[in-house]
Amino acid sequence: MFTGIVQELGTVARLERAKGLVRLAIQAPRTAARVQRVESVAVHGVCLSVVDVRPHALLFEVIPETLRLTTLGTLRAGSRVHLEPSLAVSDRLGGHILFGHVDGLGTVVRRRQRHGELALDIRVPPALRKFLVPKGPVAVDGVSLTVGDAPATSTFSIHLIPETLRRTTLGALQVGDRVNLELDHFAKLVHQFLRFRNHEEG
């Protein structure tokens, strides 16, 4: 479980393809100092298991399904990624509850630089739009954010303050870039409950 508060910006040091897997080595000294093998770390919002810990680096193995459903397949050596180790029971919930299970990919369709903020409009698949509400939670590349006012039929906006831009890679996103999206878990539970209840009553 995660909260969407990025703990470190890691750098992809190496990608190796072997037997259908991608072995991903990420330079991340702070995270490497606090996690052990088989622990979970969110990498750009995707929950991955640590398969080895090296001095100042972490090693992950990524299966084809994860590469297909997320943006991890587009990473290259030198790519910067958001990292968040899984929560301990004593940790504070600084963002909102996340599981590192990407619901789908969004596409940046507009950038708007304003006084004191950067606003991004992101297009979402139709099946995901129903889980987005004004001022509700959303995770973009593993970063806990708030949906802007009045999401459109197929897009929503996020507003990034300077501190978020300093601590994440979101400020580098350009029109056409794809992002990992994880939507509000509680909204998904309510939707499923109502769907099954309506089915039983029908």
**pLDDT tens-digit profile of 8-26?**
999 999 999 988 899 999 9
Whether the predicted pLDDT of 53 surpasses 90: yes
- The backbone torsions φ and ψ at residue 28, rounded to the nearest 5 degrees and listed phi first, read -160, 80
Is residue 96, in this structure, part of any structural domain at all? Answer: no
pLDDT of residue 190: 79
Within a 10 A sphere around the Cβ of 139, how many other Cβ atoms? 28
pLDDT of residue 89: 80
Domain edge (last residue) among 36, 58, 85:
85
Q: What is the count of structural domains for the chain?
A: 2
Q: Which residue shows structure tokens 């030198």?
A: 78
Dihedral sign computed on CA atoms, order 121, 142, 6, 31: negative
Tell whether pTM > 0.85: yes
Show the domain range for 27. 8-85
Domain edge (last residue) among 85, 113, 147:
85
What 3-state class would DSSP assign to 99?
Answer: coil
Is residue 168, in this structure, part of any structural domain at all? Answer: yes
